[in-house]
Amino acid sequence: MTFFLAAVALLLLSALLSLLAYRGSGFWEKCSLASLLIGVAAGLVAVAQALVVPGGLSYTLPWSVPGGAFSLAIDGLAAIFLLPAFLLIGAGAIYATGYWPWQEKPASTTWVRFFYSLTAAGIVVVLAADNGVLFLMAWECMALACYFLICTERNEEDAQQAGFLYLVCTHTATLALFAIFALLMTLSTGFGLPSAASLDAATASGTAIFLLALFGFGLKAGIMPLHIWLPRAHAAAPSHASALMSGVMIKTGIYGLMRVTTFFHHIPPWWGITILCLGVVSGVLGVILAIAQHDIKRLLAYHSIENIGIILIGLGTALLGISCREPALVALGMAGSLLHVVNHGLFKGLLFLSAGSMIRATGTRDLLRYGGMLRAMPFTGIFFLGGSVAICGLPPLNGFVSEWLVYLGLLHAGAYAPTGLALAVLAVPALALIGGLALLCFAKVFGLSFLGHPRVTPPVALREAPVSMLSAMAMLLAACLWIGLAPSTLTPLLVNGLATWPLVTSGKSQSLSALAPAGAISIAALLLMLLLCGVAVLSLRGRQSAATAATWACGYPFGNSRMQYTVSSFSQIIGELFYWARWTRIHGEKLRGLFPVPVSKTTHTPDVVLDLLVLPACSHGARFADRSRHIIHHGILHRYILNIVVALCLLLWLALA
């Protein structure tokens, strides 16, 4: 664990060095960046070591904290989550040198880099913690540091509201985690994490732990309907911080949920069915709400909810396989879920970094003010297109591979109709619907942002992002291409992760390579790449040789801003079809008369859970509390004494009963 400990120490050192650059010192800024990047390299070495050493890596140090121990362990499951974490931490730090330079924003640069490094250190310790007290301390460090990242623009009201909402949700989740570790302590000895399959799930304590984990970790992961903090927080934070939050931090919730399921044997089928249904709901509603967004970062945030849903579909399928003792189903479902954890971290980080480049160039997050950006920002357009293809699950990029594994798991479940697993196959059309709607959404975003003409004149001329930002995006796109073209190179990583569930390594289990031959994907992806390159070359030659002449063109010889689709009109048909989930409000006047005067319309899509349920309930609760406080706080001393006596009598009666 030497390299991992060095990685954590260097991340913390990077945070301390960033404080020395508060006056705009370029030397200390470079030292902070170098410390973080060296720490990332050391962390990647530790992940590679954990895959080679049988049983992974572990380290324990005596600690004076009551019930705690500085105990770390990196097994196959933790390694899968640590790999994209270290990659995104490094890419985000490189990106920040161009996106948030101290020359342009000296007041907030130290703030961002200090809490960015602190968040990164908290994340990696959470993923490697092998003790409940250490886990909770690292969890709280990660949560608080991320709160300060969200509140970077603390003079803006939106950032303050987003930070407050996030803080309430994350501490609510932490309370559930306290209850989980308290129950685990009663079932095992001390606060150390139980070994795999050492607890019985068919008990009241097992059910309580699962439900608390589903709530606490689900709130962090943004599972629908516990997602209420996520869209606002991602939109308020700096783009590289949003990439870290979406690509890595919310996955700590998925990691916690997976880790808890490894503690139990005899898992009942309703665990898998519950997670599978939540995955379908999160995936479908997440992408439906994403289509309606005008803010590019809120749009990407809702797509995080969608992809969390895909991960949960794979996890639910695997848990059904554990319940029904089908190792092949466990291997396919869990492999798809784990690989999508890696893939989503890479392509969602790429999309958030590309969006940051667009926001930096235009000064706005509003998609209505974008258009024709490909001419001025071709590299950003290519990177955003690559991320869009990957998140839509299209070959030859990595999103296709993980979704293909989830599809195989769901279809494999249909072969076990007598065991009741045939219900899982009903998630196949839902997964196909998610992919189709995601394709519509990113066709809209890319088309309205990079093609056509801008609807409004930008205040300044658009410029391509600096080299540091482009290099970070190129690194993530290269990783997406690598997994898409050569998925077999990640098979050892997935096999180590699957070993955490003993059923997969039983004697009757098949190898992952036999269940899902990755070589066929590589051949098909390479052929598709050659076909796309050939089409691109032929189209360029045809454009150069074609004669240009003015034609009638059906009244559309030259495009202009008035002929561009808006965000709402592009997806109007889908919006009307899914009105029951979006509740989109249209504001504006109607056209009247044969020769109507110009009118304008705007649309607003609320978050159904937050805006229509949670906030009104909190408002009514606050009004009720304000009215009822006069009954309790009346200022009459003898009534206070009477209340105390009545309360003591009730407590005494309960104690004697």
Q: Which has the closest alpha carbon to 482: 602, 401, 564, 378?
A: 401
Amino acid at 37: L
Rg, Å, the chain Cα set:
26
Q: Please report the pLDDT score of residue 507 as a whole number.
A: 47
State residue 144's pLDDT score: 94
DSSP 8-state class, residue 487: G
* Inter-helix orientation angle 296-323/398-413, to 10°: 40
CB 286 within 8 A of CB 309: yes
The three-state secondary structure class of 241 is: helix
Contact 88/349 with Cβ under 8 angstroms?
A: yes
Cβ–Cβ < 8 Å for 421, 324: yes
β-strand partners of 192: 131
Angstrom distance (rounded) from CA 289 to CA 287: 5
CB atoms within 10 A of CB 253: 21
- Contact 537/530 with Cβ under 8 angstroms? no
Stated length of the chain: 657
- Count the helix, strand and coil residues of the chain and give each as a percent rounded to the nearest 5: 75, 5, 25
With tokens 């410390």, the residue in question is 35
Q: Residue 495: its pLDDT value, please?
A: 87
Map tokens 């379908």 to a residue.
Answer: 280
Reading the block at residue 433, the tokens are 């619907």
Report how far residue 4's alpha carbon sits from residue 7's, in angstroms, rounded to the nearest whole number.
5
pTM > 0.75: yes
**What integer pLDDT is reported at residue 328 of this predicted model?**
83
Is the Cβ–Cβ distance between 260 and 180 less than 8 Å?
yes
Q: Where are the domains of the chain?
A: 282-533, 609-656
Task: Count CB-CB contacts under 10 A for residue 620.
Answer: 10
What spatial distance separates the first Cα and last Cα of the chain, rounded to whole Å? 53
β-bridge mates for residue 295, sequence order: 366
E strand or H helix at 61 = strand 57-61
Max Cα distance, the chain (Å): 98
DSSP string, 5-52: HHHHHHHHHHHHHHHTTTT--HHHHHHHHHHHHHHHHHHHHHHHHHHH
Q: For 52, how many CA atoms within 13 A lie in the half-sphere containing its CB?
A: 7
Q: Which residues pair with 474 in a beta bridge?
A: none
- Distance between CA 82 and CA 123 in Å, rounded? 9
Distances (CA, A) of 218 to 202, 396, 461: 22, 31, 43
**Looking at residue 508, what is its pLDDT?**
47
Residue 54's pLDDT is: 82
The dihedral through the CA atoms of 214, 216, 221, 224 has a sign that is positive
Rounded Cα–Cα distance for residues 621 and 10 (Å):
46
Residue 98 phi/psi, 5-degree rounding, is -100, -30
Alpha-helix runs per DSSP H in 292-426: 296-323, 327-362, 378-391, 398-413
Q: Output the six-digit token pair for 222.
A: 């943004």
Nearest to 489 by CA among 512, 461, 518: 518
**Residues 573/544, Cβ–Cβ less than 8 Å:** no
Residue type at position 646: V
Residue 419's pLDDT is what?
56
Joined together, the tokens standing for residue 378 give: 């071709």
pLDDT along the chain (657 residues), means of 10: 93 90 74 93 93 86 80 92 95 91 75 93 94 92 94 87 92 93 82 84 90 94 91 91 93 94 89 92 92 90 94 92 84 92 94 93 87 89 93 88 90 66 79 92 90 75 89 94 88 87 60 72 71 73 57 59 72 78 76 78 81 87 81 75 89 85
Alpha helices in 53-196 (DSSP H): 76-99, 106-128, 132-150, 157-187
